[in-house]
Amino acid sequence: MKTPGLRIYRPLQVRFFNSGAKVHLVGKSAGSADPKRHLWILGLIAPATALLPSQLVLHTGLEVFWWTGPIMVLVLIPLLDLLVGDDGSNPRDEDYETLSNDRYYRWCTYLFLPIQLVGLALAGYLWSGSELDIVDKVGLAVTLGLISGIGINAAHELGHRVERLERWLAKIALAQSGYGHFFVEHNRGHHARVATPEDPASARFGESLWVFMPRSVAGGFRSALRLERDRLRRRGTGWWSPANHILQAWAMTVVLFGGLMLVFGWQILPYLLLQAVLGAGLLETVNYIEHYGLLRERRPNGRYRRCTARDSWNSDRLVTNIFLFHLQRHSDHHANPGRRYQTLRSTDEAPQLPAGYAAMVVLAMIPPLWRRVMDKRVLAHYDGDLTRINLAPRKRQAVDAVSPGPGMVTG
């Protein structure tokens, strides 16, 4: 069900029809490859948010604006999602190559990085001074932390590419959060195991965010180290190699934080660490949302079927789509991980979240409300069959004791 709402670009008159796994768009958009083309640059408002607090406080005198990040991410964007409504546009098959090769879209992600780093440098200057009290400095750190988390999303988009430059830019984007191992774990771990009990980044049915988060952080870290160690071993090199992707990314964090402390003093370190932890926490919260309770089907031989759009939660709220470079079209991303963000589609096959990611982040922080909203959707997605749901191991054993094996299919 599409939520009606205001449109900030010319509305499309569209109709969808299915052809296998593909979704086509016809109607007024036939002459335009991407009706949102000129909106993508607005995604740079996210890193620019770090530049706003000082100016807003200066011109209004309201110190609450040091907390601009949470105000924007947790309040303003959910409200805009509610008012603006769903996106409603999908790229056509015949426009796929044109969109994929259009470098404008790449620059929208490339430019995220310098704005992000300038904002962090400005924050370092403000943290080092005596003009702000401790509450204001913490508010600024929270703002930078949310930007850091959104920066991981930019790294996510860049890290999926095969171009050498974009993969290096992904590591740079991860430097602010200190979450460089994500570069390895996400592409080679999460995408291989998504929506299975073996994936630490896939939340289990009934699992709260606060139980999931330490499991995902620790499991993802261990998996990244193992995957990179095995890759280097196959290359005939040891862990302490210049080719180690994790060490490369971590070194960028050391250089970034070290350089900032060299310029502004060691006293900014607590705020650098706080914003990094919050950035990683935002990423893990989004991980929690994206696959909660979902389980890929198994073949009779016990192996999991290939990931489809049914194995990730989808949302098509326009405002968050722009701010997160279509991350919400997560179902198509996992079904087709090679697609660039501008070519991702929203399909009826995918299970739908009741709101955009920003609102769902708030909901996830309150486990009773989350379960009230989401558990019934998971059950409905699997027609009430608990054997097809991603459960915690002990719960799985209890279900299997009275039912056939989990998620078994024929054919």
**DSSP H stretches of helix in 19-62:** 45-48, 52-60
Both structure tokens of 18: 């299915």
pLDDT for 40 equals 96
Pairing of strands 14-19, 22-27: antiparallel
Write out the chain's pLDDT in tens, 411 residues.
443 333 333 333 333 333 333 333 333 333 368 999 999 999 999 999 999 999 999 899 999 999 999 999 999 999 999 999 999 889 999 999 999 999 999 999 999 999 999 999 999 999 999 999 999 999 999 999 999 999 999 999 999 998 899 999 999 999 999 999 999 999 999 999 999 999 999 999 999 999 999 999 999 999 999 999 999 999 999 999 999 999 999 999 999 999 999 999 999 999 999 999 999 999 999 999 999 999 999 998 889 999 999 999 999 999 999 999 999 999 999 999 999 999 999 988 999 999 999 999 999 999 999 999 999 999 999 999 999 999 987 777 667 666 655 444 433
Q: Measure CA of the first residue to CA of the last residue in the chain; give whole Å.
A: 31
Rg (C-alpha) for the chain, rounded Å, is 22
Q: Where exactly are the structural domains of the chain?
A: 14-295+304-381
Nearest-angstrom CA–CA distance, 289 and 358? 10
